Amino acid sequence: MIQFNSVQRVFILGLDGAGNFIQHTDTPVIDSFLQQGAFTLNAQAESPTISAECWGSVLHGVLPHKHQLTNDMANTETFAPDSPYPSIFRLAREAWPAAKLASFTEWSPINKGIVEKGLNIHKESLSGQLLVSSICQYIENHPDVKLLFMQLDQPDGAGHSYGYGPNSPEYLQAITACDRQLGEILGTIERLGLLEDSLVILLTDHGGGGADSHSHGSDHPMDKNVFWGCVGPGIDAGTEIAAISIKDTAAIAAYALGLVAPPSWDAEIPEPLLPTSLKKG
């Protein structure tokens, strides 16, 4: 179980469109890091398996038909600040008015329309290495950050251009490139001594190549099955997670930070990460 009294901050580090295809390419950083904690290649994306619907569920802890986010909406509208389905950012801001919160994304609609405005969140939307360098600098300057979210877009872009899955070299190379970038970020976190009291979640929002080799959105296993893992205080190395949805990320982050998840959320904490007092039976 997560020892939330020992967790001072949460990092949610995401790759877009990587599915569970890390098993088909070189990802030494992800592999070695997640051996220290809990991990699965069979987490479930939400349906439809599209970025706004899925990242919306990751951050707001509910099914897509509740948050109602779509790619077009996220690009043109802002998420209602009084929605009954608050993001983990809003939950954190309401608990800690002065806490440092940050969201770094390559795909700008996350910062524009999925994460609420008006919460004094440090937001940056940059491309590739510029984003990674900015994240590392931010962590260096603000090691007391309470919640940091990141989304790297390369795998999804490569999938749309060259095809998803184990038979697309360009797609697999994009995942490997992101693994190296994750290495820079995790290296910064470790060098600053933050791993000891941080929960770090690594995940992706969806896969691709199921119904359409160059797209996603279906319930095909290639679109739905994704990797998810976390490392932090109280999580034993090699912990196996039998069942988890990406929407559960919100509940896990909230619990780790000592926050009470709103009853409107669908997100749950999977059994291996659940405190004994909350386990059924």
Tens of pLDDT, residue by residue over 155-184, are 999 999 999 999 999 999 999 999 999 999
In this prediction, residue 277 has a pLDDT band, given cuts at 50, 70 and 90, of: very low
Looking at the whole model, is its pTM more than 0.95?
yes
**Over pLDDT 70: what percentage of the chain?**
98
The residue ranges of DSSP E strands in the chain, in sequence order, are: 9-15, 38-44, 101-105, 122-125, 147-152, 198-204, 225-231, 239-240
- The domains of the chain are located at 4-278
Instruction: Give the pLDDT mean for 46-75.
Output: 97
**Predicted confidence (pLDDT) per residue in 105-125, tens digit:** 999 999 999 999 999 999 999
**Over pLDDT 90: what percentage of the chain?**
94
Question: Which residues are CB-contacts of 103 (< 8 A; sequence separation ≥ 6)?
Answer: 89, 110, 111, 115, 121, 122, 123, 124, 148, 149, 150
Give me the pLDDT at residue 2, please.
86
* CA distance to 30, 41, 227, per residue, from 23 (Å): 10, 8, 9
How is domain 4-278 classified at the architecture level of CATH? 3-Layer(aba) Sandwich (3.40)
